[in-house]
Amino acid sequence: MSLHSSSLQIDPAECANLKIVILAARFNPELVDGMLQLTVERLKEIGLPEENIIIQRIPGSAELPYASQQALKSGVFDVAIALGVLIAGETQHHDIVSRTASIGLQQVALELEKPVINGVISAETYAQAEDRTIGKIQRGIEFADAAVEMALWKIK
């Protein structure tokens, strides 16, 4: 049996041994928690056993690169998903945090040679952020798909 989402086709048997860590910021909890729930539901739907999905909470998006680095350095996980929501109205430096988090997450992936999924949503308003997390655009599902695809990805 294969699962289809956009172009994703994965045999659930391939996922049985994957271990995924999700780092989730505590800021904007309703939105991050909603995204987290969608991500976890999708991972289980794809075929990951619940016990292979580890969730770690951290204060805010600025801490996501360090937390991802530490989690992946443990050697336990195949892939990390970093979830956070930054809203312009709430922090004047949301743009800087968004950029540094994105650059930091890429650095972790390249240095540790493990995939890191950038699940940081940066928006101008709460309504926009809501739309992109638990509203009409449910990015958590995409993050789960990307994580599994990259954890299994090999150069051919």
Distance in Å, CB of 1 to ligand DLZ, minimum: 37
Q: Does the active-site annotation cover 93? A: yes
Q: Applying CB under 6 A, does 97 fall inside the site for ligand DLZ? A: yes
Catalytically annotated residue among 29, 93, 110, 125: 93
Residue type, 121: I
Q: Applying CB under 6 A, does 31 fall inside the site for ligand DLZ? A: no
Residue type, 92: Q
Angle CA 40–43–47, to nearest 5: 140
* Phi then psi dihedrals of residue 70, to 5 deg: -65, -40
Interface region with ligand DLZ, contact rule CB under 6 A, candidates 2-10, 33-41, 57-65, 70-78: 57-65
Q: Which of 48, 87, 109, 123 binds ligand DLZ (CB under 6 A)?
A: 87
Q: Applying CB under 6 A, does 22 fall inside the site for ligand DLZ? A: no
Instruction: Identify each DSSP E strand in 11-140 by its residue range.
Output: 20-25, 53-58, 79-87, 116-123
16: enclosing H helix or E strand = none
9: enclosing H helix or E strand = strand 8-10
Q: Applying CB under 6 A, does 62 fall inside the site for ligand DLZ? A: yes
Q: Applying CB under 6 A, does 83 fall inside the site for ligand DLZ? A: no
Which stretches of the chain bind ligand DLZ, using CB under 6 A? 25, 27-28, 59-63, 84-87, 90-91, 94, 97
